[in-house]
Amino acid sequence: MAAEPRTSLGDLRGRDLLSAADISPDAWRRLLELASALKLEWQAAGRHDQEPLHGRAVALVFEHPSLRTRVSTELAVGQLGGQPVYLVGGDVGIGRREAAGDIGRTLGAWVSAIVARTLRDETCRELAAGASVPVVNGLTDREHPLQAVADALTVTEALGGVERRIIAFIGDGNNVAASLAIAVTSLGGVMRLATPAAYAAPADLMAVADDRARSTGGRLELLRDPIAAARGADVLYTDVWTSMGMEAQRDRRRTDLAGYTISRALLAQAAPDARVMHCLPAHPGEEIEAELLDAPASLIARQAENRLHATKAVLATLLSYPDA
């Protein structure tokens, strides 16, 4: 894990990406440039000139199900010349059959990086502590940095950049919200997070986002009122009210978060050309009105598509691309 501020993408090389905070503001911008370039190259040629993962393997260790993260990561590895190896957490028996650090140590002897989706953030960190190769957080209970890279790329494409844009996340202050807040503030944007008090994002991660905002000219606003958050916003973003691993709380969460649905009425409060985002999977009728999922304002399909390009940029950076 990196505590030191970094100034270039080169500083990410060989490092873990466990939190959106592991990417400096400068590295955020460079990562997005690389993701855009790799996307253009792939779309134009269906291949990459350089294959930085040639002859290398990347392990995916997933304790939760996944569509987007798994498929986009496997494809990203393959399209960069490498070989993905997918492991189901239950089969590996993280923390039961073998300690997470020992699994990291063993995998690190064979592969060049590990992408881990773990129930607990600590497990991902233990895996990283044991591994001699970079470990990437593919979603934990605290963060989802790969999603945030794709989301920042999507906003940049749709709105010309994140700087000074108002991104309003409405709902549960969860893993997606926390990483997004750090991404947006790192890129000089205004992050509004409207949650009920009991569903606020972790204070330590919000402190990072606030620090980032101070250094980039962005802003972090923590609110309760979804209408106040939506007012004049360029993007309304939401995610499920019940994240993976919290299913036993579903009824209570549906009650507590009622009123935090992104709806056409809420969108009418936002900027005239405001866009709608959701990391998927969605629960239409809960956190988002079904009609908004593929409305003209929706960037949701683009977000999913961009997971591929964003993950390529991350893996290429951690594993070899020289300073961009």
Classified as helix, coil or strand, 97 is coil
Number of residue whose CB is nearest ligand NVA: 243
Let me know: does 220 contact 185? Beta carbons within 8 Å.
yes
* Helix ranges (DSSP H) in 244-321: 250-256, 264-267, 300-319
Residue with tokens 């593929």: 294
**What is the phi/psi pair of residue 30, to 5°?**
-70, -35
The phi-psi region of residue 280 (left if phi > 0; otherwise alpha if psi is between -120 and 50; otherwise beta) is: left
x/- map, 190-229, ligand CP, by CB under 6 A: ----------------------------------------
Minimum distance, C-beta of residue 244 to ligand NVA, in the bound complex (Å): 4
Only segment of 85-93, 172-180, 268-276, 286-294 that touches ligand NVA (CB under 6 A): 172-180
Rounded to an integer, what is the distance from CA 280 to the centroid of its chain?
12
Let me know: does 9 contact 321? Beta carbons within 8 Å.
yes
State yes or no: is 26 an active-site residue.
no
Let me know: does 216 contact 187? Beta carbons within 8 Å.
yes
CB neighbour list of residue 118: distance below 8 Å, 6 or more residues apart = 61, 63, 64, 89, 94, 100, 124, 127, 140
Q: Is 244 in the site for ligand NVA (CB under 6 A)?
A: yes
Minimum distance, C-beta of residue 173 to ligand NVA, in the bound complex (Å): 10
State yes or no: is 147 an active-site residue.
yes
Q: How far apart are CA 284 and CA 301, in angstroms?
A: 15
Task: Name the residue nearer to ligand CP (CB basis): 139 or 190.
Answer: 139
Q: Which of residues 258-287 bind ligand NVA (CB under 6 A)?
A: 279
Minimum distance, C-beta of residue 280 to ligand CP, in the bound complex (Å): 5
Q: How far apart are the first and last CA of the chain?
A: 22
Q: Which of residues 254-293 bind ligand CP (CB under 6 A)?
A: 279-280
Residue 67, contacted partner among ligand CP, ligand NVA, none, CB below 5-8 A by kind: ligand CP
Q: Which of residues 74-113 bind ligand NVA (CB under 6 A)?
A: none
Only segment of 48-56, 221-229, 239-247, 307-315 that touches ligand NVA (CB under 6 A): 239-247
Minimum distance, C-beta of residue 193 to ligand NVA, in the bound complex (Å): 14
Q: How far apart are CA 210 and CA 191, in angstroms?
A: 10
Residue 175, contacted partner among ligand CP, ligand NVA, none, CB below 5-8 A by kind: ligand NVA
Q: Is 175 in the site for ligand CP (CB under 6 A)?
A: no
Using CB under 6 A as the binding criterion, the count of chain residues that bind ligand NVA stands at 9
Task: Name the residue nearer to ligand NVA (CB basis): 40 or 67.
Answer: 67
**Residue-wise DSSP of 184-195:** HHHTT-EEEEE-
Single out the catalytic residue among 68, 253, 307, 309.
307
Let me know: does 56 contact 108? Beta carbons within 8 Å.
no
Q: Which of residues 64-103 bind ligand CP (CB under 6 A)?
A: 66-69
Let me know: does 196 contact 261? Beta carbons within 8 Å.
no
Q: Is 148 in the site for ligand NVA (CB under 6 A)?
A: no
User: What positions carry a catalytic annotation?
Assistant: 117, 144, 147, 239, 279, 307
Binding site for ligand NVA (CB under 6 A): 139, 174-176, 239-240, 243-244, 279
Binding site for ligand CP (CB under 6 A): 66-69, 139, 147, 279-280
